[in-house]
Structure 1
Amino acid sequence: MRDRDLVRRSSPGARLRTLHAQGRLATGYPDLRELLADAGPDELDFAGRVLAPLDPDEVLGHHPETPTVRIAVTGRGTVGDVVPALTGQLARHGILARTRVCGAGGYLGDLADPGSPLYTHAPDVTLCVLDPLTVWDKVAAPWQPIEVSVAAERQRKALGELAATHAACAPPGATLVLNTVPLLHRFTHQLTSLAQRAELGGLWRQFNADLLYMARPSDGLAVLDLEPVTSAGARADEPRLGAYADAHCTAQLLTGYAREAAHLIRGLRGQAKKCLVLDLDGTLWDGVLAEDGPEGVTAAGSLRGAAFGAFQHTVKQLAAQGVLLAVCSKNDPQDVARALAEHPEFPLSADDFVTVVADWGSKAEGVHTIAERLGIAPEAVVFADDTPFERETVRAGVPGAAVVPLDSEPALHAERLLADGWFDTPALTDEDRLRPVRYAQRAARERFEAGSADYRAFLDSLDLRVEISPPYEHELARLAQLSLRTNRFNLTGERLSTEQVRQRAAAPGAVVLAVRAADRFGDDGVVGAVFARAGAGRLSVDNLVLSCRVLGRGIEDATVSGLLRAAREAGFTAVHARWSPTRANGALRTLWPQHGFTTIGGPGTATEIRFRHSLRRLGPVPGHLRLRLRLPDERQPAVPRGGR
């Protein structure tokens, strides 16, 4: 029996135990994401404990392409118990953890010493777990609230200094993760004055707020807010283990911490989902459209109806931050169109959805259709439906897509949709917020194209403008996002954080360019990035990335042709480039040869092919667009400030 066949039978706990008993956790690791997708707390706890001792090299020996993250864990007290919980959570998302727990209680030494085992581990992510006794170990009795505040501020400043050391000593692009600190009952109620107790609460919340304001996830410092975890019922401290083992965090708190940390790590890796695909009946509204008609379904007018309305408000909030909304419903398309366009109760309207699939076919096929229409990978989709059969259809037919298990209780829809942070990203860019608008423009463009008998005439009518120049400061996060989240048109698969992009742009001889596009249908903003180096009379292109939503308009050809022309005008004698194969960029192997590049050193290797262009003969820039390209001027800042 294959591991994948085993994964699809019986309960998640039983399947996991079978794989564990048969010693097949390493060989079956890629299937754990599907197995653990709907696992409950006990099953995830078991998964973490059996997976934590697993040798990552054994997994990679069987599956070398498994996404891997190097994690260092340190803290004020004993914090190693976070590792099993984190291992299980990352396995749910298909990520393999290579974790090192550093000295218990020694986070000051771990982070301050460049030669410590923490930095030797070369972590991508460092978790500095601040337990509930953080600050209090520096407060002597008797104390007043103001003395606690002073100790807390000293702690915050010390953490800021440690973050600076981490940024200097950890690998480029590494992230240090701190967290807010719960305020315990045992401390607040040592104050008998209600006024002083309130004062302490306010000062402590200010300390946590100051920690949160330190966060710059795109630049290497993240802060997890544990208040949502404790407000959901997780007790923060374990008095007995704290007293006898210096382990002050409860298993519940560490589980919640691990869940948030896993979502952060997934976001840092550029694995945030892009599109929310929603069912209608029992998901977005109360009622059955085919039976009740467009006027009979509701999202208001009753307590149950209002719960659906509240869910629609949640969905609308996600859309305002760039999440693409789509419908996949087994209903007649005319009825769906009427309900979305005309129903007076719905917070959501037809304009909020970038595309709608309404028919009586398979919902797995519907999700594939939506992904194809939007030009995104099917695994970038989150599918929410209240029917178990439909969820299993999509889970089996769209591998990698996230499936949200809704049920007949609409009051819990929002909680379940948000539970796994599928759309979490280190920072929200202007491009994120405008994504639905961009896709609406794309749809209008495609409708215009469909009505045009001549594709060349269609391109000529677009009034397409492409501008390529050094990025502005506010565009650096977008360039990082493109490198992290673009798979099909990513020449080497290299992933860069915002800070790495900034460092790359500031390096001597660096050439970092933003590709911007606009046409008669609207401004697409920053759609691509070029990362190159100048030296020894040549321009070496390390990577070229373009958003998939602009492919097919000649922007890729204009970028390469324009880059060659600019290089020759700048006095370079050659342009070098490379292509490294990934799971998604195979079609780009011929990009450079199509533009006159020749292969250097034979057919290349399994990991890289290098190319060279002599700049003697240059192909034309596509005639249907206007191109402006400017290489960096050494006399000007590498990253201009201000806007376009």
Structure 2
Amino acid sequence: MTTGLDQLRDLRKRGLLEKAYDQVAGVLAQEGPGGARADTAAVGRLLAGLDPGAVLSHHPATPVVTVAVTGQSTVGQVLDPLRGELARHGLLLRAVLGEHGTYLRDLTDPAGELHTAAPDLTLCLLDAETVFEQVPGVWRPEDVEAAAADVLARCAALADAAPGTLVLNTLPLPWTYSRQLIDHRSRARLGAVWREFNARLLRLTERSPAPVVIDLDPLVAEGGPVTDPALARYAKVRLGAPLLAGYAREVAHLARALRGATRKCLVLDLDHTLWDGVLAEEGPDGIAAAGTLRGEAFGAFQTCVRQLASQGVLLAVSSKNDPAEVARVLADHPDLVLREGDFVAVNANWDPKDGNLADIARRLDLGTDALVFADDSPAERAQVRHGLPEVAVVPLDGEPATHVARLLADGWFDVPSLTEEDRARNGQYRALGERRKLREGSGSHEEFLRALDVRLETGPPQPHEAARIAQLTLRTNQFNLAGGGLTEAAVAEVAADAGRQVLVARCSDRFGDNGLVGAALITEAAGQWHLDNLWISCRVLGRGVEHAFLAVLLSRARRHGLTAVGARHVPTARNHRARDLYPSCGFVARELPEPGEHGDGTSAYLHDLLVLPGIPGHICVTESGKAPR
């Protein structure tokens, strides 16, 4: 059987790897025997010879992730698995590697290579020697505690100085240190000191949005020894290959999330996926998710899925079954943890599953690239991969005890931080169904909008909304006027900049609160505003919210004595729906201030604030501190 790695080797041999880089993610998504995937370190070594410029010349839209890597010991070995993991998600690595043991200089020198590279992520890989190099030759647990406190203070300072998003890690404690203490009481004391240090390191993320701390303990538990003794002694490679492979996977998930590529909806098969048995053949009494050894494994999988849903992951069903039978089972089968109300869509029929997934995405107003599909059938998975290659596919098999691990392995739903809007998302999408019913029962679209009772609140964001602003800007693709987004740290930087600001829009209607659905990034200079970007959640498109928000922004600018508002539209693969917004609100096209520099189709606009657009009549707008208008 030809593996994905074999196919990549063949492309390299024929000199086609750069030209075919857009196919790499799909090749690596193919399943090996038993659903196995390619060794990403081997993939990374194969891709290390790529010419990034050649890749971008063939595929200029390929997302490039600049990663700076430094650390306490020799850490360059992380680049191969990281390059492979990023390739699995369609990302191209641009790496900047610091010198051995120079992480303090690398992270604090503004003129250094790591800073000037302007990395998206800065990986600072630490290990036990980071602490133990500061303890005396003959030591006690108290000496380790003092050294750990110094390292923690250093890490807190680095979080504010490092370029890009700083990624730290907890420090595994090798048994060779604890066994140097011959009494069990001292060993226990050292273990407590070490765990307290790692806990405080993890809590750095509560103090500031800038750092991310990856907990290595779960990876060590899965991957075996922390290091190879010979490599640690002679080459100063203190974190072993299995651990670095797991770490690289976590970093790739983080990079994907920071680019707004988090998936939103988990679509599940039913037979041998949510329950044991085949409903159409064995009937409701013949399926189980409790009461038997295999049934308990399916119940554990449902519990895991429900946990994901509680954090905003949308759940849907695509199953080849009779819809009435499925409805009855989801309503009252005694074994089930999940019920019909937990799903925003249930497609039970005998149609091809790629069509069912496309239908689910359409009904939820999502792109199909927002879906994750989990199924135990290799044939169904292959059919979806062929028909909808942008859908992430989770390969389940005949062993339900592995379902949870397989679902969670790729972190498809990982986000930098969780917001209250996330937790309320399932309710919001159920309200979407109620809105659809209202629209279908209305005589016209205008009648529907009037009956919807849309209310829009605009103004500066609240301090606690930084995480939601970051999430909205990073995950919005369709109504993202200039492409890109803001991290939570970038939102904080804007808040501290007197010449820039973010204004937001919150929306509600008769069916409930949609939360924060819009944001505008504004720069003020020479008596004018410039809309650097404007984002509107796809959940509220088609209701006039985007026009109302822009009308309020223009009115606010004139009230503040400004003379004009400029804006740009930078076309992306997904934002064509937004290209007419500025002209429709009275903006006039103008020449770009840097002619010839934009070969990407960028359009520049200016509004002179003389004649302002009106707010759609069906929307009631409230500005911060002002009465409704």
Instruction: State whether residues 76 and 97 of structure 2, in contact with CA within 8 Å, keep that contact through their aligned partners in structure 1.
Output: yes
Match of 2:209 among 201, 212, 219: 219
Deviation of 1:514 (Å): 1.0
Post-superposition shift, 1:613? 2.0
Q: Distance in 2 between matches of 1:442 and 1:427?
A: 25
Distance 1:217 1:124 in 2: 21
Alignment of 1:205-284 (within 5 A): 205-215=195-205, 219-284=209-274
| 1:19 counterpart = 2:11 | yes
Instruction: Select 1:116's aligned residue among 112, 116, 123.
Output: 112
- 1:31 alignment partner, one of 10, 18, 23: 23
Indicate the residue corresponding to 1:619 in structure 2.
613
TM-score, structure 2 length as denominator? 0.95
CA-CA distance at 1:45 after TM superposition: 2.5
**For residues 429-474 of structure 1, what are the alpha-carbon distances to aligned partners after superposition, in whole Å with 9 as ceiling and x for unaligned?**
1111111111111111111211222322221111211111100011
Q: Confirm whether residue 70 of structure 1 aligns to residue 66 of structure 2.
A: yes
Please say if residues 456 and 505 of structure 2, whose CA atoms lie closer than 8 Å, have aligned partners that are also in contact.
yes
Partner of 2:416: 426
Q: What is the aligned partner in structure 2 of residue 157 from structure 1?
A: 153
Distance in 1 between the 2:550 and 2:234 partners?
65
Which residue does 1:448 correspond to in 2? Answer: 438
In structure 2, the residue matched to 1:351 is: 341
Aligned with residue 541 of structure 2, among 524, 534, 551: 551
Q: Does 1:391 align with 2:381?
A: yes
Q: Which residues of 2 match residues 9-408 of structure 1 at below 5 A?
A: 10-37=2-29, 38=31, 40=36, 43-166=39-162, 170=163, 174-215=164-205, 219-408=209-398
Mapped to 2, the partners of 1:217 and 1:72 lie a distance apart of 23
Q: CA deviation at 1:36?
A: 1.3
Alpha-carbon separation, structure 2, partners of 1:84 and 1:418:
23
Q: Deviations over 1:469-493 (max 9, x none)?
A: 1000111211111111101001101
Describe the superposition over 1:360-380 as per-residue Cα deviations: whole angstroms up to 9, x where unpaired: 111111111111111111111
Cα distance change of structure 1 residues 534 and 138 upon mapping to structure 2, 3 Å threshold: closer
555-564 or 212-221: bigger deviation = 212-221
- 1:626 partner amino acid: C
8 Å CA contact 2:548, 2:615 repeated in 1 = yes
SS in 2 for 1:229: helix
CA distance in 1 between counterparts of 2:441 and 2:294 reads 44
Retained in 2: the 8 A contact 1:132–1:236?
no
The Cα shift of 1:344 comes to: 1.8
Letter in 2 for 1:144: R
CA distance in 1, matches of 2:489, 2:159: 14
**Structure 2 CA distance, aligned partners of 1:41 and 1:359?**
31
Give, in whole Å, the separation in 1 of the partners of 2:127 and 2:48. 22
Contact 2:294/2:400 (8 A) holds in 1: yes
Any idea what the Cα deviations from partners look like across 1:126-164, whole Å, max 9, x if unmatched?
Answer: 111113433122223322112111111111111222222
1:416, 1:580 → 2: CA distance?
Answer: 38
CA distance in 1, matches of 2:237, 2:499: 50
- Report if aligned partners of 1:563, 1:629 keep a CA contact under 8 Å in 2: no
1:608 to 583, 588, 602: 602
Amino acid in the other structure paired with 1:229: L
Where structure 1 has 5 or more consecutive residues not aligned to the other structure, the ranges are 1-8, 633-644
Aligned length: 618
Contact in 1 for aligned 2:136/2:143 (Cα 8 Å): no
In structure 2, C-alpha distance between the alignment counterparts of 1:558 and 1:436, rounded to whole Å = 26
Partner of 1:519: 509
Normalising by structure 1, report the TM-score: 0.93
- Contact kept, 8 Å, 2:28 with 2:88, in 1: the verdict is yes
Local SS of the residue matching 1:135: helix
2: distance between equivalents of 1:120 and 1:618?
A: 43
SS of residue paired to 1:232: helix
Distance 1:511 1:120, change over 3 A: closer
SS of alignment partner, residue 127 of structure 2: coil
Gaps of 5+ in 2: none
Q: Deviations over 1:514-563 (max 9, x none)?
A: 10111110011100101123333333222111000111111112112222
Counterparts of 2:531 and 2:38, CA distance in 1: 50
One of 587, 592, 596 as aligned partner of 2:586: 596
Give the letter for the 2:370 counterpart: A
Within 1, Cα distance between the matches of 2:56 and 2:604? 27
Whole-Å Cα distance in 2 between the matches of residues 82 and 539 of structure 1?
A: 44
Residue 123 of structure 1, CA deviation: 1.3
Q: Which moved more, 1:622-631 or 1:444-453?
A: 622-631
Cα shift readout 1:300-319 (whole Å, capped 9, x = no counterpart):
01111010000000000000
Kept in 2, the 8 Å contact 1:218–1:427? The answer is no
Are 2:141 and 2:186, in contact at CA under 8 Å, matched by a contact in 1? yes
What is the aligned partner in structure 2 of residue 579 from structure 1?
569
SS of 1:146's equivalent in the other structure is helix
Q: Distance in 1 between matches of 2:558 and 2:479?
A: 25
Name the stretch that deviates more: 487-496 or 558-567. 558-567
Deviation at 1:260, TM superposition (A): 1.2
Deviation at 1:218, TM superposition (A): 7.9
- The two structures, once aligned, show a CA RMSD in angstroms of 1.9
Structure 1: how far apart are the matches of 2:151 and 2:496?
32
> C-alpha separation between the residues in 2 aligned to 1:537 and 1:592?
20
Find out whether 1:469 has 2:494 as its counterpart: no
Identical-pair percentage: 49
CA distance in 2, matches of 1:244, 1:606: 50
Deviations 1:234-278 (A, max 9, x none): 210211011111112211111111111111111122111111000
Separation of aligned partners in 1, 2:89 and 2:465: 29
Pick closer, same or farther for the CA change 1:192–1:444 going to 2, 3 Å: same
Take 2:267 and 2:548, find their aligned partners in 1: how far apart are those partners? 34
1:635 is matched with: none
Judge conservation of contact 2:223–2:243 (CA < 8 Å) in 1.
Answer: no
Inter-CA distance 440–183: structure 2 relative to 1 (3 Å threshold): same
> One-letter code of the match for 2:616?
P
d(CA) in 1 for partners of 2:333 and 2:51? 56
Cα contact 2:41–2:82 (8 A) shared by 1: no
C-alpha displacement at 1:284, in angstroms?
A: 0.3
The Cα of 1:630 is off from its aligned counterpart by: 4.7
